[in-house]
Amino acid sequence: MASRPLSRTKILATLGPSSCEPVKVREMIRAGVNAFRLNMSHGDRESQAAMVATVKEARKELERPVGILADLRGPRIRLGQFDPSIQFKRGAEVMVKVGKTMGRDGILPIDYPRLVKDVKVGHRILFRDGRITFKVLSIEGNKLLCQVKTGGELCANQGVNLPDSVVSAPALSAKDREDIAFAVEHEVDWIALSFARSAADIKAVRRELLKRELDMPIVAKIEHPLGIENLDAIMKEANGIMVARGDLAVEMGHAVVPTLQKRMIRKANLHSLPVIVATQMLESMIDAPQPTRAEVSDVANAVIDGADCVMLSGETAVGQYPVETCRFMKEIAWTTESMLFQDNWRLRPGVEPHGGHQAESPEMATVKAAVCAAQNSEAKLILAFTESGRSARLVSSFRGQAAIVALTTIERTYHRMSLMWGVRPGMISSVNRIRDMHRFAAHYLEKHHFLRPEQLLVSLTGTFAVSGATNTVRLIRFNQLA
Helix axes 257-270, 293-305, angle to 10 degrees: 30
Our answer to whether residue 279 is catalytic in this structure is: yes
CA nearest neighbour of 51 among 73, 28, 76, 19: 19
Catalytic residue among 8, 78, 97, 348: 78
The answer to whether 216 and 251 have CB atoms below 8 angstroms apart is: no
Sign of CA dihedral 383, 466, 418, 368: negative
CA nearest neighbour of 281 among 343, 241, 333, 329: 329
Catalytic residue among 8, 10, 26, 37: 37
Give Cβ neighbours of residue 28 (< 8 Å, ≥ 6 apart): 13, 19, 316, 322, 323, 326
Our answer to whether residue 78 is catalytic in this structure is: yes
CA nearest neighbour of 276 among 34, 5, 43: 34
Dihedrals φ, ψ of 308, to 5°?
-70, -35
Our answer to whether residue 30 is catalytic in this structure is: no
**Residue 210 to residue 376: CA distance in whole angstroms:** 43
DSSP3 helix / strand / coil % (the chain, rounded to 5): 40, 25, 40
**Residue 474 to residue 435: CA distance in whole angstroms:** 13
> Which own/partner contact pairs does 423-429 have at CB distance under 8 Å and 24+ positions apart?
423/392, 423/393, 423/395, 423/396, 424/6, 425/65, 425/392
**Rg (the chain; Cα; Å):** 23
**Residue 179 to residue 169: CA distance in whole angstroms:** 17
The 159-161 sheet, strands edge to edge: 77-78, 159-161, 124-127, 132-140, 143-150, 93-98, 108-110
Catalytic residue among 73, 221, 245, 390: 221
Sign of CA dihedral 427, 431, 437, 441: negative
**Residue 202 to residue 205: CA distance in whole angstroms:** 5
Catalytic residue among 133, 279, 386, 461: 279
Give Cβ neighbours of residue 313 (< 8 Å, ≥ 6 apart): 14, 37, 278, 279, 280
The answer to whether 43 and 367 have CB atoms below 8 angstroms apart is: no
Residues identified as active-site: 37, 78, 221, 279
